[in-house]
Structure 1
C-alpha cells in the first residue's frame, strides 16, 4: 500500500480503500413468519468488476421448536457467495422457548461463480433468505419482530 494525495491506495490497482457504491433499505415493525423463503431484497448496480460487495442485515430473530434450527443467509442473483465463503448465521433451539434476539448477518462476497471469477460489474439483486440448516428440522421462525430490519450493500475495494 502507499499513501497518495492523503488516501491509502492498493499497489497495482486503481482502487482506493473506500466505498464505491452503497444501498440501504430499512423496514420497521416488519413481522415475518417465514420459515423458508425470501425476507428482503435490494438491487445494486456494481460499478466495477475489481470490487467486492459487503453485505449486512440486522433484525430481531427467533427460532421456536424443540430440537429445531433456522438458517438466515444471503444470495446474490439467486446464488450463495462462494468466495471467500457463504454468508450465513444459524440458530438452534433445544426447547420450545420463544426467545427473540438481535442478530447481524454480515460478510464480504467476491464471487458467486463456481470458478471463483469476480462478481461482474452491472446490476445484481441481493436477497436475505431463511431456511433449513443442514439436515436439522426447520423451526418455526420469526424475523423483524417489533424492530427495524436493515439491509445494506456496499461496493468496496478489496482490502488485501
Structure 2
C-alpha cells in the first residue's frame, strides 16, 4: 500500500512541470491575438486622401435589339372638307364708246349702244353716259334717260336713270326756252352674266307726266363708259 502511494506522488511531481509549460504555451498566442486586436481597433482614423481624377470615357456599348412594333392608334374623328379658292389677280376691264354731235332728236327709243365683254359673272358693271340733254314742251313735261343691258333695265338692285322736268313752257314748241345742258347718267348694276353685253342708252317718258320734245347730244361729244368691278 505504501509503495503504491509513493509511486503516485512520484508520477504527479514528474508530470506537473509539463502541464504548466503546456498551458503557458497555449496562453501566449491568445495574448498576442488580444494585443493585436486592441492595438488596431483603438487607432484614430487618418486625414482623407486627395480625390482621384475621373477615368477615361468608356467605349460605346453593343446596340440593343429593335423593340416590338407599336399597335395602331384609335381611329380619329372625321374632318371637315375645306376647299381653297385660288383666283387670278384682278385685271382692269373697261371700254369707252364716243360720238361727235349725235344731235339725236327722238323722244322715245334707243339713242346709242356700246357692246362690252364681261369677264366674270360675280362682278358688277359701272356705266356712265355723258352728253348734252334738252327738253321742250307747252305744258309741264318730263323725259327720262336710262340704261339697258341686253335690252332690259337693271334689276340689281334698281334701274340706272336720270330725268329732266320742265314746268313752264311757251304756247309754241319753238319758243326761246330751249336750253341744252351736258348731263350724266351713271350707276352700278349687278347680276349680269359673263360674256357679251349690249349696253344701251335710251330716252322715254316719266310716270304720270306727258312727253315733251327731247334732244340728245347736240353740238357736242357724247360718250358711254363701261367698267367691270369686283364685288
TM-score (norm: length of structure 1): 0.81
Counterparts in 2 of 1:63 and 1:121: CA distance versus 1, 3 Å: same
Larger fraction in helix: 2
Q: In structure 1, list runs of 5 or more residues that go unmatched.
A: 1-11, 111-117
Q: Per-residue deviation at 1:28?
A: 1.1
Number of residue pairs matched by the alignment = 139
- Counterparts in 2 of 1:3-152, with a 5 A limit? 14=87, 20-65=92-137, 66-96=139-169, 97-110=177-190, 118-152=191-225
Counterparts in 2 of 1:125 and 1:86: CA distance versus 1, 3 Å: same
Q: Per-residue deviation at 1:35?
A: 0.3
Larger fraction in strand: 1
Q: Per-residue deviation at 1:105?
A: 0.5
Note if contact 1:15-1:157 (Cα within 8 Å) is conserved in structure 2.
no
Measured against aligned partners, the alpha-carbon deviations of 1:42-76 in whole angstroms (never above 9, x if no partner) come to: 11111111110000000010011021110000000
Instruction: Considering Cα pairs closer than 8 Å and 6+ residues apart, tell me whether 1 or 2 has the greater RCO.
Output: 1
Moved over 3 A (4+): 12-16
TM-score (norm: length of structure 2): 0.57
Q: CA RMSD in A?
A: 1.7
Q: Per-residue deviation at 1:102?
A: 1.3
Measured against aligned partners, the alpha-carbon deviations of 1:99-134 in whole angstroms (never above 9, x if no partner) come to: 111101000000xxxxxxx21111110000000111
Larger Rg: 2
